[in-house]
Amino acid sequence: MADRGRTAGPAAGYLALLRGQARSQASYRTSFVVDLVSNVGATVFDVLTVLVLFQVTRTLGGFDVREAMVMVSLSACSFATADLAVGNIERVRQYVRTGLMDAVLVRPLGALPQLLLMDLPLRKLSRALFGLAVLTVAASSAGIEWTPGRVLLVIVAPLAGAVFFGSIFVASATLAFWWIDSGEVGNAFTYGGRDFTAYPVTVYGGWFRAIFAYGLGFAFVAYYPALALLGRADPLGLPAWAGWASPGVAVLAALAAAAVWRTGIRHYRSTGS
Amino acid sequence: MGSVTATVPPLIGRNIIPWFRTFTAITGSGYRRYSTYRQATFAGAFTNIVFGFLHCYVFLAVATGAGGLAGGYDTRQLATFVWVGQGLLAVVGLWGWSELADRIRTGDVASDLLRPVSPVVSYLATDLGRAAHAVLTRFVPPVLTGPIFFDVYLPTRWPTVPLFLLSMVLAVVLSFSCRYLVNATVYWLADVRGPMLLWTLCSGILAGLYFPLRFLPDWAFVTIWLATPFPSMMQTPLDVLVERDGAPVQAGLVGLQLCWVGAALFACAVVQRRAERRLVVQGG
């Protein structure tokens, strides 16, 4: 990372990138509005899927529909925010393959912020806002006994979840540095992680749950915070403070992702095309 | 050549053998093209397997919560539905095909129009090659993984397997035709993003990938089945395989699928002809 901060004002550089992005995206106005509207669709369908499943059954993994909605909304909120902020890191795959990555690395700005600002998907803003709306409705209708602690938790948990998902996005995109054609492997953990966190982890079983919930830490995005909000004990036996572990888990994930990213950049060899 | 029109008159009718040879040659090249992306194929199969676990656990929990039977499926039928569904997804290839749209946008489509095979036919042949490759590399891994970890349902009536294979081929052709139509909107709109996003959203949920459509109330899934082609791309072959209905309904579903395939291919031909009449190729 010899490329960071050599020039007088890196901030001005980032700002220029961001301004250029905003201008270029807003210039196709109709297309932008269509994107803004249809981006909500993905989250709508996630929530709809959970509602359809509850048409068939009254409890899922021991939770009723209002409790499950708290989980799916925490998950949707976290994921949509992370996807808005760093989701486009997925494009590293194409950048590495086409050699555009070289252009990014020779500029006197940090590689990661550049990649994010080169294509900040402003259209995904609508999704994050919709996620927030669902969380508001779900949290207010689930019969939560509000305490100052729980109010704090309902604000902190989605933020920590967003940092966590952001780390997953960055770490899985880094695969492209070692494995140029890594294609969809990352999706198993980003979109797969979103699907995993949308349901109570009691639904899953065996080693699969052990890896996703505790090994990778996905249980702390929505399941444990939701338990703490609802005041329910964990059927799997973790103590009550687990609901408050999400910021810690998020920080650990971010540190791990940063380490993986640094190693990846150092390993990067141009494809030479 | 004296005057050049957008489409050279097709060879069909004069002699079917060269036409058939061309078709199989294009299919073969489609197969070979995808067999070069070995890492990507492995990556895709891995992801399908992870999603297989996710969906399977969730649907089994739904069935447990509902007392063993969800939407008319027992737990073994649901397991088969999920795992074969994950394999079928790559074969049908619902997502991520914008080759035609890109070629229209850049003007490369002009060279497709000069070939003696209609673009619909040649892209269909390529897509069948892609599907054949996916059957070997993307269909098999999840279908073999499922039974190792879950109790799956195996068909009990002998006509089910050939009917499933027919239904799978129809699903591939139908998915291709619909993707072709989505791509062809570029002839008029110059940007495929909107239609493609709409397609991606609708196809996932209405084809039965997020949840089996039988989880919906009767009126809803019957409407979706009759009014949209989506269930015929995934839900039909899977329902046929897990013997969700009796033999007559099973055959009827494949019949409905056949109607959709006919309608969609016809629409492709019409759209292509219209588009050629208004296409202005730019570039030098």
CA quadruple A210, A214, A218, A224: dihedral, nearest 10: 110
Cβ of A57 under 8 Å from any chain B Cβ? yes
Q: What is the pLDDT of residue B12?
A: 53
Collect all residues from B whose CB is shorter than 8 A from any CB in A: 37-40, 43-44, 46-47, 50-51, 53-55, 57-58, 61-66, 70-71, 191, 193-194, 197-198, 201, 204-205, 210-211, 215-217
* More reliable by pLDDT, A59 or A8: A59
Q: Which of B50, B193, B198 sits opposite A31 (nearest CB)?
A: B193
What is the rounded CA–CA span in Å between residue A48 and residue B82? 19
- In the prediction, which pLDDT does B11 show? 53
Q: Is the pLDDT of residue A54 over 90?
A: yes
How far apart are alpha carbons A23 and B32 in whole angstroms?
42
What are the residue boundaries of the structural domains of chain B, listed by start? Answer: 14-281
Which is higher by pLDDT, A258 or B110?
A258
**pLDDT above 70: percentage of residues in chain A:** 93
pLDDT at A209 over 90: yes
Beta bridge partner(s), residue A63: A60
State how far residue A94 is from chain B, nearest Cα, in angstroms: 13
**Residue A210 sits at the chain B interface (C-beta within 8 Å):** no
Predicted confidence (pLDDT) at residue B170 exceeds the cutoff of 50: yes
Phi, psi of A63 (to 5 degrees): -120, 145
Residue B196 has pLDDT above 90, yes or no: no
Q: Which residue has the higher pLDDT, B167 or B194?
A: B167
Instruction: For residue B200, give the chain A residue with the closest CA.
Output: A42
Q: What is the pLDDT of residues A66-101, one digit of tens each?
A: 999 999 999 999 999 999 888 878 777 777 777 777
What percentage of residues in chain A have a pLDDT greater than 90?
44
Chain B CB contacts of A31 under 8 Å are 191, 193-194
Q: What is the pLDDT of residue B5?
A: 56
* pLDDT, tens digit, 9 for 90 and up, residues B16-39: 788 788 888 888 888 888 777 777
Highest mean pLDDT: which of A23-32, A262-271, B18-27, B49-58? B49-58
SS3 B69: strand
CB A124, CB A94: distance < 8 Å: no
**A16: CB partners within 8 A, 6+ apart:** none
pLDDT of B10 over the 70 cut: no
C-alpha B9 chain-centroid distance: 29
Half-sphere exposure of A141 (CA within 13 A, CB side): 14
pLDDT tens column, B219-245: 999 999 999 999 999 999 999 999 999
Confidence of residue A160 (pLDDT cuts 50, 70, 90): very high
**Treating both helix axes as pointing N-terminal to C-terminal, what angle do A148-178 and A246-267 enclose, rounded to 10 degrees?**
20
Across A112-123, average pLDDT: 76
Smallest CA–CA distance from B37 into chain A, residue: A181
Q: Is B262 exposed, middle or buried (0-12, 13-18, 19+ CB in 10 A)?
A: middle
ipTM > 0.95 (yes/no): no
**Among A206, A212, A207, which Cα is nearest to A190's?**
A212
The predicted pLDDT at position B6 comes to 58
The pLDDT, as a whole number, for residue A5 is: 44
Inform me whether the pLDDT recorded for B64 exceeds 80.
yes
Average pLDDT over residues B76-84: 96
**CA-CA distance, B192 to B100, in Å (whole number)?**
10
User: A2: pLDDT confidence band, cut at 50, 70 and 90?
Assistant: very low
Q: Which of B38, B46, B62 has the highest number of chain A CBs within 10 A, making it the mutation to test binding with A?
A: B62
How far is it, in rounded angstroms, from Cα B203 to Cα B231? 9
pLDDT of res. A1: 40
Lookup: tokens for B242: 């897990």
